[in-house]
Amino acid sequence: MDRLAVIKGDITECKVDAIVNAANNSLLGGGGVDGAIHKAAGLELLEECKTLNGCKTGEAKISGGYRLPAKWVIHTVGPVWHGGKQNEDRLLANCYKNSLELAVTNDIKTIAFPSISTGAYRFPLKRAAGIAISVMKKFLDRDKNIQKVYMVCFDDKTFRAYSYNFL
Ligand code: AR6
C-alpha cells in the first residue's frame, strides 16, 4: 500500500493539500493537535470555524488552512472513550471515512491525519490504530482519487502502534 505512510512528526508542518484536525463539537479550538493547528494557522481559522456551526461526533467539516503550509483543514470530532459500549469504534471509523470522503469532494490529493481520539479523548491507542489503518486501506482500495495519505504520529508510542497495524 504505497499510498499510505505512517510517519513521525508535527502535522502543522506537513506540506499536503489538507491536514485533519482532531477537534471538538464546537470547532472553536482546544488543546492538543487542535490547539497546535489553530496556533499555526492564525486567528482567521477561528473566524472561519465560527461560521461552520460546530460538528457532530464522527462527522467532518472543511475550512481554509490560512498560515499553514496545507491549503485546507478538515475538522473531525472523534468520540470520547467511555469504555467501548457507546459506539466509539464506529464513530472513530466514521471520522476517517467522512474526512476522506470530504477530501475527495474537494479534489484533495494528499492528506495527513493525526491520531484522532487517543489524546484527551482517551481512546485506547492500539484499538484506535487498528480501526484507523483498516478504514484508510479499505478506502484507498476502492477510491483512486487520493494519491497519498499520511498518518502523522507525534510521539514514539503512537508511531509504534500505527506502524504495527500497518504491516
Ligand atoms: N501533530 C500531530 N499530532 C499531534 C500534535 C501535532 N502538532 N499535537 C498533538 N498531537 P488530542 P483527541 C497528537 O488530545 O484525543 C482538544 O482539546 C497527540 O499526541 O489532540 O481527539 C480538542 O479540542 C495525540 O496522539 O485529540 C478536543 O477537545 C493525538 O494528536 C480534544 O482535544 C490526539 O490527541 C480531542 O481529543
Q: Which of 10, 34, 141, 143 is catalytic?
A: 34
Residue 63 has pLDDT above 90, yes or no: yes
In sequence order, the β-bridge partners of residue 152 are 7
Residue pLDDT, tens place only, 21-58: 999 999 999 999 999 999 999 999 999 999 999 999 99
Residue pLDDT, tens place only, 81-137: 999 999 999 999 999 999 999 999 999 999 999 999 999 999 999 999 999 999 999
State how far the Cα of 70 lies from the Cα of 13, in Å rounded to an integer: 8
Query: Which grid cell is 12?
Result: 502543522
Range of the domain at 138: 4-166
C-alpha distance from residue 24 to each of 51, 63, 134 (Å): 15, 15, 23
Residue 152 has pLDDT above 90, yes or no: yes
Q: What is the distance in A from the centroid of ligand 1 to the CA of 8? A: 14
Residue type, 64: G
State how far the Cα of 11 lies from the Cα of 41, in Å rounded to an integer: 12
* Reported confidence tier of residue 12, pLDDT bands at 50, 70, 90: very high
| Segment among 1-5, 116-120, 128-132, 149-153 with least mean pLDDT | 1-5
pLDDT value of residue 128: 98
Domains in the chain, number: 1
Q: What is the distance in A from the centroid of ligand 1 to the CA of 154? A: 9
Query: Which grid cell is 116?
Result: 484522532
CATH of the domain at 103: 3.40.220.10
Active site (annotated) includes residue 34: yes
